[in-house]
Amino acid sequence: MGNKLELRNISKSYGRTKVIDNMSLEVEEGEFFVVLGPSGTGKSTLLKIIVGIEQPDSGKVFIDGRDVTRLPPNKRNLAMVFQNYALYPNMNVYNNIAFPLKMHRIRYIDRKVKEVAAKLNITEILQKKIYQISGGQQQRVALARAIVRNPSMFLLDEPLSNLDARVRYTARSELKKLQQELNQTFVFVTHDQKEAEALGDRVGVLHNGVFEQVSDYKDLYEKPKTAWIGDFVGDFPINIIDNKGFRPEWAKIGSGKFSMTVSLSESVSDVYFIHGLMDDGTGIILKSPKPFGSGEVVHFSVEKFIEFKEAENPPQAFSSV
138 binds another protein (CB under 8 A): yes
83 binds another protein (CB under 8 A): yes
70 binds another protein (CB under 8 A): no
Of 27, 36, 80, 109, the one binding another protein by CB under 8 A? 80
73 binds another protein (CB under 8 A): yes
Shortest Å, Cβ 75 to another protein: 9
Of 63, 87, 122, 189, the one binding another protein by CB under 8 A? 87
HSE at residue 42, side-chain half, CA atoms within 13 A, is 25
What span, in angstroms and rounded, lies between the C-alpha atoms of 190 and 57? Answer: 24
Dihedral angle over CA of 219, 199, 211, 15, nearest 10: -160
The answer to whether 139 and 163 have CB atoms below 8 angstroms apart is: yes
Footprint (CB under 8 A) of another protein, residues 139-158: 145, 149
137 binds another protein (CB under 8 A): no
Of 13, 26, 71, 86, the one binding another protein by CB under 8 A? 86
Helix pair 93-103, 135-147: axis angle to 10 deg: 20
β-bridge pairing 244-246 and 17-28: unpaired
Identify which range of 16-24, 87-95, 198-206, 220-228 contacts another protein by CB under 8 A.
87-95
- φ, ψ of residue 221 to 5 degrees: the values are -80, -45
What span, in angstroms and rounded, lies between the C-alpha atoms of 286 and 273? Answer: 5
Identify which range of 94-102, 117-125, 264-272, 306-314 contacts another protein by CB under 8 A.
94-102
Identify which range of 60-68, 128-136, 191-199, 298-306 contacts another protein by CB under 8 A.
128-136
Q: Which of residues 151 and 248 has its CB atom nearest to another protein in the complex?
A: 151
Dihedral angle over CA of 26, 32, 36, 42, nearest 10: 60
Range list of H helices, 157-299: 165-182, 193-199, 217-222, 227-232
Shortest Å, Cβ 65 to another protein: 21
Identify which range of 20-28, 80-88, 211-219, 281-289 contacts another protein by CB under 8 A.
80-88
The answer to whether 273 and 248 have CB atoms below 8 angstroms apart is: yes
Range list of H helices, 7-74: 43-51
299 binds another protein (CB under 8 A): no
Q: Which of residues 103 and 264 has its CB atom nearest to another protein in the complex?
A: 103
* Count of residues near another protein by CB under 8 A: 34
130 binds another protein (CB under 8 A): yes
DSSP bridge partners of 156 = 81, 188
What span, in angstroms and rounded, lies between the C-alpha atoms of 210 and 188? Answer: 16
Footprint (CB under 8 A) of another protein, residues 25-54: 48, 51-53
Shortest Å, Cβ 286 to another protein: 38
69 binds another protein (CB under 8 A): no
Q: Which amino acid, 115? A: E
Residues that bind another protein (CB under 8 A): 48, 51-53, 72-74, 77-80, 82-90, 96, 99-100, 103-104, 129-131, 135, 138, 145, 149, 161-162
